[in-house]
Amino acid sequence: MGDMSEFSLPVRAFIKTYRWRRIDPVPWAPLKKPLSESRVGLVSTAGLTLSGQKPCSKEVKGGDPCYREIPWDTEISQLVENHRSDSWDHTGVEQDMNVAFPLDRMRELLEQGRVGSLAERYLSFMGSVTSPGRMVRDIIPLACDNLLRQEVEAALLVPV
């Protein structure tokens, strides 16, 4: 397991002074039926896009709160990693995008009958949004509506 010494001095200073948000109570919605009968979505903060999709901006102060839709039948090799943060090692994601966006694993779960069905479109947010107010107020409700329109009953959240 890594430790703080692996980060650059500016990143360590940022982490020490960052005002982490506490959410209390933690939102939770129990499943109303077994996962094997549920429609499942995928939400990642890897900043992934399809080739040709405009990536979220790396220039927005506090982080761009955007997200991109990724169709469920996308080949993992079609994804491009655009994450703005250099405070983590991107090597694992570069070697296998399933680390950050487990498309192949989701399909395996469907084939095995472990999930009932898959959402038609998955969501990839830009991670490292250090000023999340606008995201919480404006973007998350849109993303939730997106998942609800797809009748998603459970989502695999993959923070990067």
- Give the pLDDT of residue 140: 93
What angle (nearest 5°) sits at the alpha carbon of residue 55, between those of residues 132 and 86?
A: 65
Residue closest to 106 by CA, chosen among 149, 47, 155, 54: 155
- Give the pLDDT of residue 90: 65
For residue 23, name the pLDDT band (cuts at 50, 70, 90): confident
Task: Give the separation between CA 32 and CA 155, rounded to whole angstroms.
Answer: 14
Task: Give the separation between CA 66 and CA 69, rounded to whole angstroms.
Answer: 10
For residue 84, pLDDT over 60 is answered with yes
For residue 11, pLDDT over 90 is answered with no
What predicted TM-score, i.e. pTM, was given to this entire model? 0.85
- Give the pLDDT of residue 81: 83
For residue 1, pLDDT over 70 is answered with no
- Percent of the chain exceeding pLDDT 70 equals 96
